[in-house]
């Protein structure tokens, strides 16, 4: 495992991020049972959270904006690097669940960027200091922040002490006006079509989008309106070779210039909206 040096890490007290509109919730909530996960037994012994949960807590991020920790091998599961167009940097991923979530964020119109292993929380809870590094931090296009913990399935949520730590992180995020959620691997994609479409569209994120492509897109929007279809718009973008136009459209979706429903099969007639 590769850890950053202390001079490469920026530490800030959690209290500086707290939104005064949110009072501290004395009784912690178990984030592992929402959404409704019938195979996860709710915790019945969650501790109360005193003011020290926030006043004595700190958060840590890398000075360069990347991951706090990475691995270079010697793991029992897959890990590697994946270049993100939205984040403009390589993303470290550990396990296929994290890789899949990063790819889905790349084509999500509500996501400005996502960064793996972005933020570490340190806080006192239940008599000892807790440390937690999020799997993914998401910056939404509306300016909100989402902290995401990724798990393969419900069996990874059996450790009650670890879930106490997650409950503490969830409360800190709530106090800061952020969202904390646990996402299981089967929840990342709504269907096989969704997964296949995300794989395809994110793979074209670095396809060349020329000034001519943008002019043709804007000209079509001015003359015909913002609504079109996948096949029609591909021919407008690249009149001489529609498959190349589809590749450009896929890159434009990552760039937020068009929107499509990727949860359904994609045909020439699939509706596309110019943003």
**For residue range 4-53, what is the model confidence (pLDDT) as tens digits?**
777 789 999 999 999 999 888 888 999 999 888 888 999 988 888 888 99
% helix, strand, coil for the chain, step of 5: 35, 25, 40
Q: What region, left, alpha or beta, does residue 160 occupy, with left being phi > 0 and alpha being psi -120 to 50 degrees?
A: alpha
Banded model confidence at residue 81, pLDDT cuts 50, 70, 90 = very high
Residue 1 has pLDDT above 70, yes or no: no
What pLDDT, on a 0 to 100 scale, did the predictor assign at position 114? 98
Question: Nearest Cα to 185, choosing from 154, 151, 156, 159?
Answer: 151
Q: Is the pLDDT of residue 77 over 80?
A: no
Range in 42-56, 84-98, 123-137, 156-170 the model is least confident about: 42-56
Query: Would you mind telling me the total number of residues written for the chain in this entry?
Result: 275
Contact in structure between 43 and 163 (CB atoms under 8 Å): yes
Phi, psi for 82 (deg, rounded to 5): -140, 125
Q: What is the mean pLDDT of the chain?
A: 93
Q: Over 80: is that where the pLDDT of 3 sits?
A: no
Give whole-number Cα distances, 183 to 32, 44, 66, 180, 187, in Å: 9, 22, 21, 10, 6
The CA distance from 260 to 205, in Å, is: 15
Buried b (16+ CB within 10 A) or exposed e, 109-142: eebbbbbbbbbbbbbbbbeeebebbbbbbbbeee
* Cα(149)–Cα(118) distance, integer angstroms: 12
Q: Please report, for residues 40, 43, 162, the alpha-carbon distance to residue 158 in angstroms, rounded to integers and kept in the order given.
A: 8, 10, 8
Of 26-30, 103-107, 108-112, give the lowest mean pLDDT range.
Answer: 26-30
Containing H/E element for 122?
strand 119-125
- Bridge partners of 146? 138, 179
Query: What is the pTM assigned to this prediction?
Result: 0.93
SS3 157: helix
What mean pLDDT is predicted for residues 243-261? 97
- The pLDDT of residue 2: 63
- What the block records as the tokens of 260 is 């499509």
Can you read off the two tokens belonging to residue 275? Answer: 């943003």
Residue 75 has pLDDT above 80, yes or no: no
pLDDT for 160 beyond 90: yes
Average pLDDT rounded to a whole number, residues 181-197: 96
Name the one residue in this structure whose structure tokens are 């943003």. Answer: 275
| Least confident among 16-25, 70-79, 102-111 | 70-79
Query: What residues are paired with 80 via a beta bridge?
Result: 93
Give the H or E element holding residue 176: helix 160-176
């Amino acid at each position: 495992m590769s850890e950053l040096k202390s001079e490469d890490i920026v530490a800030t007290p959690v209290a500086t991020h707290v939104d005064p509109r949110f009072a501290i919730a004395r009784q912690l909530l178990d984030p592992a049972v929402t959404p409704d996960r019938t195979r996860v037994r709710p915790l019945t012994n969650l501790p109360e959270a005193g003011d020290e949960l926030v006043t004595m807590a700190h958060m840590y991020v890398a000075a360069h904006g990347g991951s706090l920790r990475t691995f270079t091998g010697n793991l029992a599961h897959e890990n590697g690097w994946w270049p993100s167009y939205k984040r403009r940097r390589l993303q470290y991923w550990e396990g296929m669940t994290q890789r899949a979530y990063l790819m889905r964020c790349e084509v999500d119109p509500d996501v400005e960027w996502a960064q793996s292993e972005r933020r570490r929380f340190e806080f006192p809870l239940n008599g000892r200091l807790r440390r937690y590094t999020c799997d993914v931090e998401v910056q939404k296009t509306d300016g909100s922040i989402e902290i995401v913990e990724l798990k393969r399935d419900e069996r990874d949520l059996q450790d009650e002490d670890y879930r106490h730590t997650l409950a503490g992180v969830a409360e800190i995020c709530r106090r800061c006006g952020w969202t904390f959620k646990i996402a299981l691997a089967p929840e990342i994609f709504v269907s096989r079509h969704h997964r296949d479409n995300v794989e395809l569209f994110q793979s074209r994120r670095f396809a060349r989008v020329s000034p001519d492509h943008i002019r043709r897109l804007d000209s079509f929007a001015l003359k015909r309106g913002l609504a079109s279809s996948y096949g029609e718009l591909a021919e407008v973008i690249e009149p001489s070779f529609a498959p190349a136009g589809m590749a450009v459209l896929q890159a434009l979706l990552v760039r937020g210039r068009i929107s499509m429903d990727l949860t359904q099969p994609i045909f020439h007639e699939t509706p596309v909206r110019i943003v």
